[in-house]
């Protein structure tokens, strides 16, 4: 029986994927084997020693201490693509909000209606010019990050009659196949900056991308560029953005991550983190996260982990060993050698690495004796071993 703790409200359609005969699921669980989480911050959370995995019902994992988890052999999952359509639709909305002052205009109309003696119909005809903005048709859209969301955004930009530039130094083959052939993929982000009337961000926030949009980047952009950030607030340097808004270099900034620094600035449209806030998206993320967690806890298979490689294997043999270890030479020989000393045959095995970490699954012909497990645990570079 696996004990799973929910750190946020998780859609019931996802929780139903964890059958009661194998899982107990509760927001008050202790000594949990797995965690399901959305936005709760886990950096200061005391992980129990037996914690095996954390599944985040969403794409970003900056609320989870991913590196700390990797060092402890705790697998961190996310749900790439599960909320992609919801975010794509909000980007479409943000494009229009960045162009036309719809929100300012609507608020002004309501103010007129509250003013005694004002004929609203007559007032709007006189005042509407204050809210004029350009069409997106035949303008250029720059998409930074061409993953599940970015690819959808790039393609819909073409459908709007825009020229579309895309930039992603880590563009995968799968992502490239999702892109319409008319998207101009560039290798130098400055080419995208020079060409784009609108720029939208779709990259994770990490040490390499924090403050990605800063004074130097903005200086390379077109005058009057319109920025959209539905990815993470920390991707943009707030002070540099405010200076660019004041100078007119940036005409409008639409963000899904309001804070006290930028929210009230002229030219900012701040949304209350609505990107994935649709019932469809929440259901998709919950189902995907629960499925990933279940497959790992029950079978040791890893799919969509941010700190360990994706490894899956059909079950065979009588017992499965899952070994987390550093990605160093001679590790496989050391592991299999420890088993062969006990006369245990490896019926099937797979191994993959991700950066400095690796994961090996072995299906064996007989249960491993405690001595064999002790020998494997003692191998230099082994982090954790699971027996299923």
49 by Cβ neighbours in 10 Å (0-12 / 13-18 / 19+) ranks as exposed
What letters, b where the CB count within 10 A reaches 16 and e where it falls short, cover 147-160?
bbbbbbbbbbbbeb
**What per-residue confidence (pLDDT) applies to 173?**
85
Q: One fold for both 1-82+279-307 and 84-270?
A: yes
One CATH from 3.40.50.150, 2.60.40.10, 3.40.50.12780, 3.40.50.720 for 1-82+279-307:
3.40.50.720
Segment 293-349, tens digit of pLDDT: 999 999 999 999 999 999 999 999 899 999 999 999 999 999 999 898 888 899 999
CATH architecture of 84-270: 3-Layer(aba) Sandwich (3.40)
The residue that leads in pLDDT, 317 or 16, is: 16
Task: Say what the pTM is.
Answer: 0.83
Segment 60-69, tens digit of pLDDT: 898 999 999 9
Instruction: Please compute the mean of the pLDDT values over residues 195-211 and round it to a whole number.
Output: 94
DSSP label of 370? H
Segment 262-292, tens digit of pLDDT: 999 999 999 999 998 999 999 999 999 999 9
Sorted by where each begins, the domain ranges of the chain are 1-82+279-307, 84-270, 309-388
Q: Would the pLDDT of 172 be above 90? A: no
Q: Would the pLDDT of 387 be above 90? A: yes
Tokens linked to 199: 């720029």
In which residue are the tokens 């996310």 written?
78
Bridge partners of 24? Answer: 3
Q: Judge: domain 309-388, CATH 3.40.50.300.
A: no
């Amino acid at each position: 029986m696996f004990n799973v703790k929910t750190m946020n409200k998780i859609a019931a359609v996802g929780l139903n994927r964890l059958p009661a005969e194998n899982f107990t699921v509760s927001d008050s669980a202790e000594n949990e084997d797995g965690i399901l989480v959305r936005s709760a911050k886990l950096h200061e959370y005391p992980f129990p020693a037996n914690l095996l995995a954390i599944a985040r019902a969403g794409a970003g994992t900056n609320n989870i201490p991913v590196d700390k988890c990797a060092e402890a052999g705790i697998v961190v999952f996310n749900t790439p693509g599960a909320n992609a359509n919801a975010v794509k639709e909000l980007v479409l909305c943000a494009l229009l909000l960045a162009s036309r002052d719809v929100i300012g205009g609507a608020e002004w109309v309501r103010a007129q209606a509250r003013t005694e003696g004002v004929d609203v119909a007559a007032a709007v005809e006189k005042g509407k010019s204050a809210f004029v903005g350009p069409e997106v048709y035949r303008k250029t859209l720059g998409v930074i990050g061409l993953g599940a969301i970015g690819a959808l955004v790039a393609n819909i930009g073409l459908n709007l009659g825009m020229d579309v530039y895309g930039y992603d130094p880590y563009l995968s083959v799968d992502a490239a196949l999702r892109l319409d052939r008319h998207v101009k993929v560039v290798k130098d982000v400055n080419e995208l900056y020079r060409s784009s009337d609108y720029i939208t961000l779709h990259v994770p926030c990490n040490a390499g991308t924090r403050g990605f949009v800063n004074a130097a980047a903005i200086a390379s952009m077109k005058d009057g560029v319109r920025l959209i950030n539905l990815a993470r607030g920390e991707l943009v340097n707030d002070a540099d953005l405010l200076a660019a808004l004041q100078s007119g270099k940036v005409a409008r900034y639409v963000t899904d991550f309001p804070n006290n620094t930028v929210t009230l600035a002229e030219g900012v449209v701040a949304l209350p983190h609505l990107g994935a806030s649709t019932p469809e998206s929440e259901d998709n993320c919950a189902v995907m996260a629960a499925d990933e967690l279940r497959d790992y806890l029950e079978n040791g298979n890893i799919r969509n982990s941010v700190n360990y490689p994706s490894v899956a294997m059909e079950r065979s043999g009588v017992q499965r060993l899952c070994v987390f270890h550093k990605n160093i030479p001679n590790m496989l020989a050391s592991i299999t050698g420890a088993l062969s000393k006990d006369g245990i045959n490896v019926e099937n095995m797979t191994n993959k690495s991700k950066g400095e970490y690796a994961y090996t699954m072995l299906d064996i012909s007989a249960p491993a004796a405690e001595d064999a497990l002790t020998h494997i645990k003692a191998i230099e570079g082994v982090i954790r071993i699971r027996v299923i």
